[in-house]
Amino acid sequence: MAFPSREVAIVATSQTPSYRHFDGPEPVLIMRCVNDLLATTGLERDDLEFTIAGSCDYLSGLPFAFVQNIDGVGAWPPVYETHVEMDGAWALFEAWLRLQLGDIDVALVIGSGKSSPGHPREAFPLQTDPYVLAPLGLDPVSLAGIQARCLIDAGKATERDFAAVASRNRRDAMGNPNAQVTGDRSVDDLLKEAYVCEPLRRHDLPPISDGAAALVLVAGPRARDLVERPAWVTGMDHRIESHHPGLRDLTTSPSTALAASGAGVGDGPVDVAELTVTYSPEEIVLREALGLGDGVAVNPSGGPLAGHPVMATGLIRVIEVANRIMAGSAQRGVAHASSGPALQQNLVCVLQGGE
């Protein structure tokens, strides 16, 4: 059977600002997005036939934290709903497949996270293998540092290249009202800063953020009824690599390359790319894996270095591309989400405007 059998498009998006600390519960962040989407589309709560959210209990340090999030969805009367303990981009992936079944047309996709109540650098080592890695306290910043060192040793990048990514992202973020870290800092200026985790400096790391994002995904002709220029999902795929850093070449991302192939990135020109560059060296790895030329605008929103509400970060990449397509400033774009230490798991989504 030909896949996908139905055309599916993003018709509306919403995101909260990326807050250093949002002084309120996560469901409120979600509710703001849901209310915004209903207002934008004119849809009623009952019109959202399927809801899927991505979040992570461990960020708030509370088992079943995701249960409270349905308060922000408005689950009464009862709703057809599910949840992934993954970034909202994976919720989008499941929603995209769910709409292929043909019995429902409209899905609400959410990603949300509040990192500020905890200590991410202490929590995230719990993502690693509990027997041989977690006891080492191998945190994501250290792993990103190892990845950066591998790139330098392989001659693929320099500390100046990393600073250039950060400098550009901060400058681009000045045009993004949702960004948390902005400013016009030159590469030379950034390179004067001390190391946080050599060879990484503060600007190579993401901020700690709270935030949420959501979108409405619609199948078939209804998408065109709801919005003049929907952002069609033409392909999506995700892949994972071995968990053990020692078994991987950290200067490449074969899982991203596989996902890009599965999503059809190379089937047409790319006008814009929003990538989950959580640490600046990752942009170098991802550009190569995705086959993006120097002419492709990467992270015009400022990317995760300008705002990183974990579990919404990947979905926001999709939203940033979709917004540009719906606004007509881009015709075809690539969004990328990532999970796990040093880009272990990667999702690629290709979006396109109408003919």
Could you give the CA distance from residue 232 to residue 230 in angstroms, rounded to a whole number? 6
User: Residue 120 CA to chain centroid, in angstroms?
Assistant: 17
Q: Which of 57, 189, 198, 225 lies at the binding interface for other proteins (CB under 8 A)?
A: 57
Q: Which residue, among 338, 291, 285, has the nearest Cα to 311 in the 3D structure? A: 338
Q: Which residues contact 131 (CB under 8 A, 6 or more apart)?
A: none
Which range in 76-84, 152-160, 226-234, 316-324 contacts other proteins by CB under 8 A?
A: 76-84
Three-class secondary structure of residue 206 per DSSP: coil
- Which of 60/180 has CB closer to other proteins? 60
Which range in 39-47, 79-87, 145-153, 193-201 contacts other proteins by CB under 8 A?
A: 79-87
Q: Could you count the other beta carbons within 10 Å of the beta carbon of residue 262?
A: 15
- Asked if residue 251 binds other proteins (CB under 8 A), the reply is no
- Which of 9/70 has CB closer to other proteins? 70
Q: Which residue, among 10, 38, 2, 55, has the nearest Cα to 351 in the 3D structure? A: 10
Residue 11 amino acid letter: V
DSSP string, 112-124: EEE-TTS-HHHHG
Site string for other proteins, 324-343 (x = CB under 8 A): ---------------xxx--
Give how many residues touch other proteins by CB under 8 A: 65
132 to 171, contacts with other proteins by CB under 8 A?
A: 133-134
- Asked if residue 25 binds other proteins (CB under 8 A), the reply is no
- Asked if residue 122 binds other proteins (CB under 8 A), the reply is no
Inter-residue contact 254 to 241 (CB < 8 Å): yes
Interaction site with other proteins (CB under 8 A): 1-5, 51, 56-58, 61-64, 66-68, 70-71, 75-86, 90, 93-94, 97-98, 100-103, 123-124, 126-131, 133-134, 237-244, 254-255, 258, 339-341, 344-345
